[in-house]
Amino acid sequence: MRETGAGYLFSGLALLSVVLLVLELSTRLLTPMRENLATLVSPIYMLAEAPYSIAGVVDTFTSSHEDLRAQNARLQRRVLELAQISQQYVALRAENDRMRELLGSQSRLPYDVLVAELVGIVPDADTHQVMLDKGRDAGLEPGLAVVDAHGLFGQIVEVGAFTSRVLLITDANHAVPVRVNRNGVRSIAGGTGERAQLLLEDVPISADIVDGDVLETSGLGGRFPPGYPVGVVQSMLVSPTSTFAEVTIRPIAQLDRSRHVLVIFQIESTSGAGP
C-alpha cells in the first residue's frame, strides 16, 4: 500500500513538474503564477537581508557627532556642485528643445524615476540578478530600466506585490543597444556572465571605436531610454583572421556595490527588446 500510493503520487508530481518546466521555458503563461509566488516568498528575502538593514540602522544611531558633521559638509558641497551642473542642464535642455523644434523632431519627455533599495542578491553564480524592495504596489512593470548613480544597471524582469527582480547588464542573457557617445557608432552590448565585463557584438574592424570611449544607451528597440552611460571601452582586439573586432567594455554602474538604484518610468513603445 505504502509503496504503490507514494509511487503514483510521486510520478504524478514529477510529470506536473516537467509540464511546468516546459511551459516555463517555452511560453509566458506562468508569469502570473510566478508573480503571486514571488509575493509569497518576498519575506524570506527581507529576513535574509535583515542583518544588513539592522546593521545600517545601528550604524546611523551610533555614528558620532563629528562624523555626521563631516558627512553633512561633504554632502552640502556635493549638492552645490550638482546644483551648478543642473543649472547648466536646464539651459542646455531649453536650447536642445529649440533646436529639435527647428529640425521638426519631438522634444524628449522627462522621465519619472523611483528610488528603490536592494534587498537581496539571487544566489546563483551563473546569473546576475538582484531583488528590489519595490513592486507592483509602487507601479513597477517588467521591462523598466534601472540605473544607479553612475550608469545603466539592468532591467526589471519579474514583479511581485512588494518586491521585484532585476536582471543586471552583465548577465550572459542580457543585451542592450548602445552608441558611442563621441561619434554615434551603434552596437549592442551583451553581458558575458563576468562581473566587470560587457562585450560588443559583431563590431566591424573598420568601426571608429577606441579605448576609453564612453558608450551610452541608444534608445533603439524602445526598452531603454536613450542617453544613459553604460560602459567604457576597455580594449579592442582585432584578430587578423576575422572581419569582426572583439571589444570589451567595463560597466560604469557599480553593479556589485550600489544599494540604492533608480527605476525609470517611460512611455513604452510597442517594439520592446525581450529580456
Partner 1 sequence: MNPAQGGWVIMLSLIVAMILMVLRLPEFMPDLGLLRPQWLLMVVFFWVVETPHRLGLVVAWLLGLLTDVLLAHPLGLNAFILAGTTWVGWVFYERLRMYSVFQQCAVLFVIVLLAEACELFALSLMGRVGLSWELLTTPAVSMFVWPFLYVLLTRLRIAARVA
Residues that bind partner 1 (CB under 8 A): 3, 6-7, 9-10, 13-14, 16-21, 23-25, 30, 33-34, 37-38, 40-41, 44-45, 47-48, 52, 120-127, 129, 158, 165, 172-173, 256-257
- CA-based radius of gyration for the chain: 23
Reading the block at residue 12, the C-alpha cell is 504524478
State which residue, 48 or 262, has the beta carbon closest to partner 1.
48
Instruction: Output the smallest distance, CB 111 to partner 1, in A.
Output: 27
Nearer to partner 1, 14 or 99 (CB): 14
With b meaning 16 or more CB within 10 Å and e meaning fewer, what string describes 99-137? eeeeeeeeeeeeeeebebebbbeeeeeeebbbbbbbbbe
CB of 162 to partner 1, least distance (A): 14
110/123 with CB nearer partner 1: 123
Closest distance of CB 16 from partner 1, Å: 7
Looking at the Cβ atoms of 38 and 185, the one nearer to partner 1 is 38
Count each helix (H run) and each strand (E run) in the chain, helices first. Answer: 3, 12
The nearest distance, CB 55 to partner 1, in angstroms, is 9
Q: How far are the Cα atoms of 209, 228, 244, 252 from residue 214, in angstroms, in the given order?
A: 10, 10, 20, 9
Task: Dig out the grid coordinates for 218 from the structure.
Answer: 541608444
Comparison of 28 and 182: residue with beta carbon closer to partner 1: 28
Cell digits of residue 41: 516568498
- In angstroms, give the least distance from the CB of 37 to partner 1: 4
Shorter beta-carbon distance to partner 1: residue 121 or 205 = 121
- What secondary structure letter does DSSP report for 141? -
Taking CA atoms, 228 is separated from 82, 178, 181, in Å, by 17, 9, 10
Residue whose entry in the numeric block shows the C-alpha cell 516546459: 22
Supply the minimum distance, in Å, between the C-beta of residue 130 and partner 1. Answer: 10
Least separation, in Å, of the C-beta of 33 and partner 1? 7
Bridge partners of residue 168, in order along the sequence = 154
The rounded Cα 198 to chain-centroid distance in angstroms is 13
* Closer CB to partner 1, 46 or 207, in the complex: 46
CA distances (Å), origin 199, targets 37, 128, 186, 215, 246: 34, 15, 13, 12, 7
